[in-house]
Amino acid sequence: MDLSKTFLSWPVLRQFSGNDPLGRGTAARSGQTERITARTETADRVARSVCPYCAVGCGQRVYVKDEKVVQIEGDPDSPISRGRLCPKGAASKNLVTGPMRESKVRYRRPFGTEWEDLDLETAMNMVADRVLKVRDETWQDEDESGNKVRRTMGIAGLGGATLDNEENYLIKKLWTAMGAVQIENQARI
Amino acid sequence: MAEAHPVGFQWVMEAKLRGAKIIHVDPRFTRTSALAHTFVPLRAGTDIAFLGGIINYVLQNELDFREYVVAYTNAASIVSDEYTDPDELDGLFSGFDPETRTYSPESWQYAQQEHEGDTRQDMHEQRETSSAQQFGSHGASVSSALRDDTLQDPNCVYQILKRHFSRYTPEMVEQVCGVSPEAFREVCEAWTQNSGRERTTALCYSVGWTQHSVGAQYIRTAAILQLLLGNIGRTGGGIMALRGHASIQGSTDIPTLFDLLPGYLPMPSASKHPDFQTYVDSIRKPGAKGFWDNSKAYTVNLLKAYWGEKATAENDFCFDYMPKLTGDHGTYRTVLDMIDGKVKGYFLFGQNPAVGSAHGRAQRLGMANLDWLVVRDLVEIESASFWRNSPEIATGEIVPEECRTEVFLFPAASHVEKEGTFTQTQRMLQWREKALDPKGDCRSELWFLYHLGRLLRERLAGSARERDRPLLDLVWDYVPPEHQHEPWGEPSAEKVLMEINGYEIATGRPLSSFTEMKEDGSTLGGCWIYTGVFKDGVNQAARRKPASEQSWVAPEWGWAWPANRRTLYNRASADPDGKPWSERKAYVWWDEAAGEWTGHDVPDFEKTKPPSYRAPDGARGVAALAGDDAFIMNGDGKGALYVPQGLIDGPLPTHYEPVESPFRNALYAQQGNPTRKDYPRPDNPINPSFPDEAEQVAVFPYVFTTSRLTEHHTSGAMSRYLEYLSELQPEMFVEVSPALAQERGLEHMGWCHVITSRSAVEGRVLVTERLIPLRVEGRVVHQVWLPYHWGAGGMVTGDSANDLFGITLDPNVLIQESKVGTCDVRPGRRPTGPALREYIAGYLQRAGLDTGRRTPILTTGTAGSHTDGREADEGAQP
pTM of the model: 0.94
- Which of B63, B6, B59 is closest to B35 using CA atoms? B6
Interchain proximity A102–B401, CB inside 8 Å: no
Q: What pLDDT was estimated at residue B292?
A: 86
Q: What pLDDT was estimated at residue B868?
A: 36
Among A161, A179, A184, beta carbon nearest to B467: A179
Interchain proximity B430–A59, CB inside 8 Å: yes
pLDDT in tens, B349-359: 999 999 999 99
In whole angstroms, give the CA distance from residue B826 to residue B742. Answer: 11
- Chain A residues touching B376 at Cβ < 8 A: 159
Burial bucket for residue B878 (CB in 10 Å: 0-12, 13-18, 19+): exposed
Interchain proximity B270–A53, CB inside 8 Å: no
In whole angstroms, give the CA distance from residue B346 to residue B372. Answer: 7
Taking phi over 0 as left and psi of -120 to 50 as alpha, with beta for the rest, B93 belongs to beta
Average pLDDT over residues B490-495: 97
- Ordered strands of the A59-65 beta sheet: A45-50, A59-65, A68-74
Give how far B474 is from chain A: nearest CA, Å. Answer: 7
User: What residues contact residue A182 under an 8 Å CB cut-off, 6+ apart?
Assistant: A153, A155, A156, A157, B258, B329, B334, B343
Among B250, B344, B713, beta carbon nearest to A165: B250
Secondary structure letter of residue B714 according to DSSP:
T
B860-B866-B867-B873 Cα dihedral, nearest 10 degrees: 60
In whole angstroms, give the CA distance from residue B312 to residue B300. Answer: 9
Give how far B205 is from chain A: nearest CA, Å. Answer: 13
Among B320, B326, B441, beta carbon nearest to A104: B441
H-helix or E-strand containing B779? Answer: strand B779-781
Give how far B483 is from chain A: nearest CA, Å. Answer: 17
For residues B453 and B447, the answer to whether their CB atoms sit within 8 Å is no
Give how far A42 is from chain B: nearest CA, Å. Answer: 15
- Chain B residues touching A146 at Cβ < 8 A: none
DSSP character string of B420-445: EEEE-TTSEEEEEPP-SPPPTT-B-H
- Which of A3, A166, A38, A186 is closest to B431 using CA atoms? A166
- Which of B511, B493, B515 is closest to B502 using CA atoms? B511
The H helix count followed by the E strand count for chain B is 28, 28
| A-to-B residue pairs, Cβ atoms closer than 8 angstroms | 485
Average pLDDT over residues B647-665: 97
Assign B745 a pLDDT band (cuts: 50, 70, 90): very high
Q: How many CA atoms lie within 13 A of B780 on its CB side?
A: 8
Residue B628 pLDDT more than 70? yes
Interchain proximity A62–B7, CB inside 8 Å: no
- CA B689, distance to chain mean position in Å, is 26
Amino acid identity of residue B583, one-letter, is E
**Distance in Å from the first CA to the final CA of chain A:** 70
Give how far B292 is from chain A: nearest CA, Å. Answer: 22
Interchain proximity A132–B254, CB inside 8 Å: no
Secondary structure letter of residue B816 according to DSSP:
B
* Count of CB atoms situated within 10 Å of the CB of A99: 10
- The sign of the dihedral angle between the CA atoms of A22, A25, A27, A32 is positive
Amino acid identity of residue B347, one-letter, is F
Q: How far is CA A133 from CA A128, A170, B448, in A?
A: 9, 21, 19
User: What residues contact residue B610 under an 8 Å CB cut-off, 6+ apart?
Assistant: B578, B590, B595, B627
- Phi first, then psi, for residue B872 (nearest 5°) are -60, -35
* Count of CB atoms situated within 10 Å of the CB of B661: 26
Q: Which of B210, B325, B349, B723 should we substitute to test contact with A (largest number of A Cβ atoms within 10 Å)? A: B349
DSSP character string of B670-711: --S-TT-EE---TTS-----TTS-HHHHTTS-EEEEEE--TT
Taking phi over 0 as left and psi of -120 to 50 as alpha, with beta for the rest, B67 belongs to alpha
pLDDT in tens, B399-451: 999 999 999 999 999 999 999 999 999 999 999 999 999 999 999 999 999 99
Residue B866 pLDDT more than 50? no
pLDDT in tens, A126-161: 999 999 999 999 999 999 999 999 999 999 999 989
pLDDT in tens, A8-29: 777 788 888 878 888 888 888 8
The three-point CA angle A114-A115-A118 to 5° equals 140
Give how far B420 is from chain A: nearest CA, Å. Answer: 6
Domains defined for chain B, CATH in brackets: 41-112+120-242 (3.40.228.10), 570-630 (no CATH), 677-876 (2.40.40.20)
- Which of B36, B30, B56, B59 is closest to B176 using CA atoms? B56
Give how far B555 is from chain A: nearest CA, Å. Answer: 10
Q: What pLDDT was estimated at residue B141?
A: 55
Pairing of strands A139-142, A148-159: antiparallel
Interchain proximity B379–A88, CB inside 8 Å: no
User: What residues contact residue B867 under an 8 Å CB cut-off, 6+ apart?
Assistant: none
In whole angstroms, give the CA distance from residue B39 to residue B29. Answer: 7
Q: What pLDDT was estimated at residue B863?
A: 40
Chain B: residue whose CA lies nearest to A58: B7
- Give the 3-state secondary structure of B7-19: HHHHHHHHHHHCC
Interchain proximity A169–B500, CB inside 8 Å: yes
| Whether CATH 2.20.25.90 fits A39-97 | yes
- CA B202, distance to chain mean position in Å, is 19
Q: Which of B3, B251, B364, B444 should we substitute to test contact with A (largest number of A Cβ atoms within 10 Å)? A: B251
pLDDT in tens, B100-150: 999 999 999 999 755 444 444 567 777 887 766 555 445 555 666 799 999
Q: What pLDDT was estimated at residue B143?
A: 66
Among B321, B374, B442, beta carbon nearest to A103: B442
Among B242, B380, B713, beta carbon nearest to A88: B713
Taking phi over 0 as left and psi of -120 to 50 as alpha, with beta for the rest, B95 belongs to left
Q: What pLDDT was estimated at residue B288?
A: 77
For residues B105 and B123, the answer to whether their CB atoms sit within 8 Å is yes
pLDDT in tens, B699-726: 999 999 999 999 999 999 999 999 999 9
Interchain proximity A103–B257, CB inside 8 Å: no
- Which of B452, B421, B330, B459 is closest to A174 using CA atoms? B452
- Chain A residues touching B427 at Cβ < 8 A: none
- Chain A residues touching B493 at Cβ < 8 A: 164, 166-167
Among B345, B417, B443, beta carbon nearest to A134: B345
User: What residues contact residue B194 under an 8 Å CB cut-off, 6+ apart?
Assistant: B21, B200, B201
Secondary structure letter of residue B22 according to DSSP:
-
Average pLDDT over residues B800-819: 98
Amino acid identity of residue B424, one-letter, is Q
For residues B288 and B635, the answer to whether their CB atoms sit within 8 Å is yes
Residue-level length of chain B: 878
Interchain proximity B246–A53, CB inside 8 Å: yes
In whole angstroms, give the CA distance from residue B787 to residue B766. Answer: 12
Assign A4 a pLDDT band (cuts: 50, 70, 90): low
pLDDT in tens, B9-38: 999 999 999 999 999 999 999 999 999 999
- Mean pLDDT taken over chain B: 94
Residue B215 pLDDT more than 80? yes
Q: What pLDDT was estimated at residue A17?
A: 80
- Which of B855, B548, B574 is closest to B689 using CA atoms? B855
In whole angstroms, give the CA distance from residue B384 to residue B354. Answer: 9
Q: What pLDDT was estimated at residue B123?
A: 75
Which A positions 142-161 lie with beta carbon below 8 A of chain B? 143, 145, 147-161
Give how far B101 is from chain A: nearest CA, Å. Answer: 22
Assign B867 a pLDDT band (cuts: 50, 70, 90): very low
Residue B594 pLDDT more than 80? yes
% of chain B with per-residue pLDDT over 90: 91
Interchain proximity A164–B455, CB inside 8 Å: no
In chain A, list all ranges with CATH 2.20.25.90: 39-97
In whole angstroms, give the CA distance from residue B408 to residue A109. Answer: 9
User: What residues contact residue B82 under an 8 Å CB cut-off, 6+ apart?
Assistant: B94, B106, B107
In whole angstroms, give the CA distance from residue B51 to residue B218. Answer: 9
SS3 content of chain A, % helix, strand, coil (to 5): 35, 25, 40
Average pLDDT over residues B526-554: 97
% of chain B with per-residue pLDDT over 70: 95
Burial bucket for residue B778 (CB in 10 Å: 0-12, 13-18, 19+): exposed
Q: What pLDDT was estimated at residue B878?
A: 33
Which A positions 25-54 lie with beta carbon below 8 A of chain B? 45, 47-54
Interchain proximity B718–A126, CB inside 8 Å: no
Interchain proximity B711–A130, CB inside 8 Å: no
Interchain proximity B256–A172, CB inside 8 Å: yes
